[in-house]
Structure formats: C-alpha cells, structure tokens
Amino acid sequence: MASSNAHHATGFAAGVIAAALVWHNGGGHGGLFYTGVLLSFIAGVAGSTAPDWLEVAWWSRKRRLWIAHRTLTHWGIGWLALLGLSYHALGHSIYAAAAFGFACGGLMHLLADWPNPLGVPWIAARHSLNLWNSGHCDLIVVAASWVAAWFVGQHAGLPGMHGLEMLKHLRF
C-alpha cells in the first residue's frame, strides 16, 4: 500500500488525467462543458482515496471496517467497469464526468497499491508486483502518475501541456 500522502499526490494526477479526457471528449452534457471538466477533476482526487474510505463503517460509532481491507473496494473489475460505463456516457450526462473522474482516481489507487506484496484483487485473487513494502518508493509511484498525467494531457490536447518543448531552448 502506498502512503496516504502518495495516494493524495497520485489523486491529483488522476484528476488531471480525468479532466483531460473529459475535455477531449466534449466536457459535460450540453452547455456544462467546464462544469464536467471540473467535476471530473474533483472526483478524480476523491476517488484516489475511495478504496480505503469505502471500507469504513461511517454509520457506526466506532468507525471500524465493515469489510476486510483490499477486498471488494479494491476489486479491479469493478473500477474498470465504472470507468468504461462512465466513459461511454460522457456527453450524455453531467454525472458521467464525475463518475469517470472517480473511477480514474480509484484505478490510480489500485495502481499505487499494486507493487506492494499484499497486492490487489484485479480479477479474482490478489496479484502483486512484489516490488517493495508499504510506504517505500512512494516517489516512484507519484512521479509515474504525474508522467502519465502529462502524457495523457499532451495527447488529449490540453492547452499549455507543451512545457517540455521549452527545454530545447535552454543551454546547459
């Protein structure tokens, strides 16, 4: 499992990815273009911690887990299904943009947890890349998420995503 800070940092990258893809696909529904883009970003940030806070029994006084950690709320197929269905609905409903962002954040959470020996249940059983223990190498996970955000933003046609082109003008 990545640290809480890593999940938050990768969540902002997931929000950028979601907003870029919603922007590329026409924003929200009808005249709510910018609203859809903003909703997808906010939902992406919230979705990045969702697999963990969805496990907490918020309706009880003790706030214990109502389900074992890294089970149903970390199930890859569920998050992929939400991503696919909401992507298909983009442009038809403003809620699709928020659902798409939430799914992007949830998948980013799973990708951040995947290198841990505990792994995540992508299909049926847990799978792990078994690269490092919890809380280690968070910088690699965060950097990879932001590289992905830059790449998606660059290819989705977000304005102002050409920042690396200025590097060719610098002299070292």
- Write out the DSSP string of 120-134: EESSSSEE------T
Segment 81-85 long-range contacts (CB within 8 Å, at least 24 positions apart): 82/106, 83/107
Number of domains in the chain: 1
Q: What is the residue range of 36's domain?
A: 4-169
User: Distance of CA 143 to CAs 10, 78, 84, 147, Å?
Assistant: 8, 26, 25, 6
Number of neighbouring beta carbons within 10 Å of residue 3: 15
Confidence of residue 29 (pLDDT cuts 50, 70, 90): low
The model's pLDDT over 111-169, given as tens digits with 9 standing for 90+, comes to 888 888 877 888 887 767 777 666 667 888 889 998 999 989 888 766 555 555 544 44
In this model, does residue 62 exceed pLDDT 90?
no
